Amino acid sequence: MRKIDIFDTTLRDGEQSAGINLNTAEKIEIAKQLERLGVTIIEAGFPAASPGDFEAVNLIAKTVKDSIITGLARAVKGDIDAVYNAVKDAQQPHIHTFLATSPIHMEYKLKKSPDQVIEQAVEAVKYAKSKVNLVEFSCEDGFRSDTDFLVRIISEVIKAGATTINVPDTVGYASPQEYGALFKFLRENVAGAEKVKFSAHCHDDLGMAVANSIAAMENGADQIECTINGIGERAGNAALEEIGVALHIRKDIYGVETGLNLKEIKRSSQLVSRLTGVVIQPNKAVVGRNAFAHESGIHQDGVLKNPETYEIISPALIGEGDVPLVLGKHSGRAAFRDRSEKMGFQLSDEKLNKAFAEFKKLADRKKEVTEEDLLALLTEQQVSVEDVPLFELKSVQVQYGTENIPTATASVQTPEGEVKTVVATGSGSVEAIFNTLEQLVEGPINLQDYRVTSVGKGRDALAEAVTNIQYQDYTYTGRDNAQDVLEASAKAYLNAINRHLIQESIRARQLV
């Protein structure tokens, strides 16, 4: 198969993202992970930019052995010297130099004529070639350059010794059709094109960086420049993980190999996200949290029968572990049964239906039902209310004033069927409620955690209370909701006590 080189510029173009500032140790850690990922070339930085950048590139060049290490240089001797001194200890030293070639850049930024630009580019490439064998020349803003001028300058730098020619879409303006056509044109018209690699470097300003990169490859590009998670200036660069997986999954139409170890993709993505502080959007292709998540009941049913009904990429391909089906309000009975069985519950159809009904009620109030929620629902059905008598809150009332001691009165139906009224005080209204309900059981209850959150928006939103208690050497989590915060708190506390009764019944049955 045709080999496509992956040129990773996470440590150079990626680090130029606003708000990203990696130190040397972090850059080395990322570079070692990129080596494990199997990228062909690592652009480790811009050595002339700062002493710190020089040091990082130099240390990476001495550390990484299985990937080619390069640094970026403007088309001036000082920058080229900096790159050479930084990468000269690498297994295969590589220099990447660039110069703008579009009319707007030449006129307003460089203030040079086209002939002067060609002269400078040729001198830079010759100088770089005198130091190393591998020299890449980039036509900055190449897509917006005049095509005849591109043919002239590329032909000249090839004569000067360039081994790779990069024609970037620096501002993310191209469409796939146009960008692919440009590479086809250059391949057919540049003198010496057969002697060099052509490289694509695309930005994502219009969301087409990956599509443009693949279009370039289909039309003669032998190298794709990209970054982990697509980070980079403005809207970012082409995402390495998307390109690598796309070329693998659709090798039937692309017929290429990248040499990437795809099982390292997830780890690479998470490492870069953690060290840069750039959060991966949940629906990000390949590596997003929801990339393998299914909540729709129809989708979940299909995936349970055959994952390929809705998954064209297996989580294992990129080093992701098993991804459980997301349980939410759109989930169906099949996904609910599957999760309950994987959690070790074997419920009758009747009890499963009851648990599913309670799950649906809860899912209407929550964006996602957690494993803990399911454990509570399924446990309570495994030993249902009919099996274990529980406490039931009938009413709760709190007397509170800034000059008075908070006092709570609760009316509770006990497991024996009696209605019992209990009263207690506390330093606050919630403590008074908890002190009141604690009287229902023997021995002290240690409250370890207590939280109240809003379910939904608005003044009339439900309050969801969560209590975490320790009782008789066991920990129980109670959860319930009501429109009144104090009522929700009382019900959640009582719910935790009821969990104790249920677990006691389960333990007793296991002993039998």
pLDDT band at 300 (very low <50, low <70, confident <90, very high): very low
User: pLDDT value at position 282?
Assistant: 78
Share the mean pLDDT of the chain: 87
* For helices 333-342 and 371-382, angle between their N-to-C axes, nearest 10 degrees: 80
Cβ–Cβ contacts within 10 Å for residue 297, how many? 18
Residue 192 pLDDT more than 60? yes
Contact 10, 269 (CB under 8 A): no
Q: Tell me the pTM.
A: 0.66
More confident residue, 20 or 202: 202
Positive or negative torsion for Cα 144, 146, 152, 155 = positive
Contacts of 115 (CB under 8 A, 6+ apart): none
Least confident of 296-310, 331-345, 457-471: 296-310
Q: Residue 310: its pLDDT value, please?
A: 45
What does the alpha-carbon distance between residue 345 and residue 376 come to, in Å, rounded to a whole number? 12
- Per-residue three-class SS string for 7-41: EECCCCCHHHCCCCCCCHHHHHHHHHHHHHHCCCE
Summarised one tens digit per residue, pLDDT across range 446-459 is: 999 899 988 656 67
CATH of 392-511, one of 3.30.930.10, 3.40.190.10, 2.60.120.380, 3.30.160.270: 3.30.160.270
Query: What pLDDT, on a 0 to 100 scale, did the predictor assign at position 209?
Result: 98
pLDDT for the residue 39: 98
**Domain boundaries 2-276, CATH class:** alpha beta
Name which of 186-190, 257-261, 334-338 the model is least confident about: 334-338
Please state, in angstroms and rounded to a whole number, the distance separating the CA atoms of residues 492 and 450. Answer: 9
**Does residue 11 or residue 274 have the better pLDDT?**
11
Interval 412-438 mean pLDDT: 95
Q: Is 392-511 in the same CATH topology as 2-276?
A: no
Distance, CA of 162 to CA of 329 (rounded, Å): 58
- Most confident residue range from 394-403, 454-463, 469-478: 394-403
Say what the pLDDT of residue 366 is: 58
Q: Residue 374 above 70 pLDDT?
A: no
pLDDT for the residue numbered 473: 84
The reported pLDDT for the residue numbered 385 is: 45
Strand partners, 267: none
Q: Which residue has the higher pLDDT, 316 or 441?
A: 441
Least confident of 31-35, 307-311, 362-366, 399-403: 307-311
CA 238 to chain centre: 15
pLDDT at 296: 47
Which carries the bigger pLDDT value, residue 378 or residue 352?
A: 352
Residue-wise pLDDT for 139-148, tens only, equals: 999 999 999 9
Q: Which helix (H) or strand (E) holds 187?
A: helix 176-189
Better-predicted residue by pLDDT, 157 or 380: 157
Q: Residue 294: its pLDDT value, please?
A: 43
- pLDDT tens by residue, 147-184: 999 999 999 999 999 999 999 999 999 999 999 999 99
At residue 260 the predicted structure's pLDDT band, cuts being 50, 70 and 90, is very high
Rounded-to-integer distance, Cα 176 and Cα 43, Å: 25
| Domain parsing of the chain, residue ranges | 2-276, 297-382, 392-511
Tokens of 261: 């170890």
Among 72-81, 169-178, 334-343, name the one with the lowest average pLDDT.
334-343
